[in-house]
Structure 1
Amino acid sequence: MRAISKLLARLTQYITEAAIRIFGPSDDAYPNTGVQPFSGDPYKERTANW
């Protein structure tokens, strides 16, 4: 009987931790980069010479 209650406790903890991970706040550590300046050449559309 004690083994069943331990199993249920571990299962409950596993599911609870997964739910907290899914629905909790994001833990991404990406830097705040903001808007990146454009430093390339504008696209020049070419006409097809068939």
Structure 2
Amino acid sequence: MNTGKTPLLAAWAERFGACPAAKEVVPEADKAVQYIKKLQAAAAAAAAK
């Protein structure tokens, strides 16, 4: 995130990420990326049929 272009959004994201309630429900970035890649692969396979 570009703090120079969107300082308020960057500040909000920082506060949100530090919130204990958010930490409980938001997955780690690496796990989320792996999940999205699996979804993309499944969608590509379905589209190829």
Q: TM-score range by the shorter chain?
A: 0.3 to 0.5
Structure 2 length as normaliser, TM-score?
0.42
Structure exhibiting the larger radius of gyration computed from Cα positions: 1
Structure 1 length as normaliser, TM-score?
0.42
Task: Select the structure with the greater relative contact order (CA < 8 A; seq sep ≥ 6).
Answer: 2
Return the structure number with greater helix share: 2
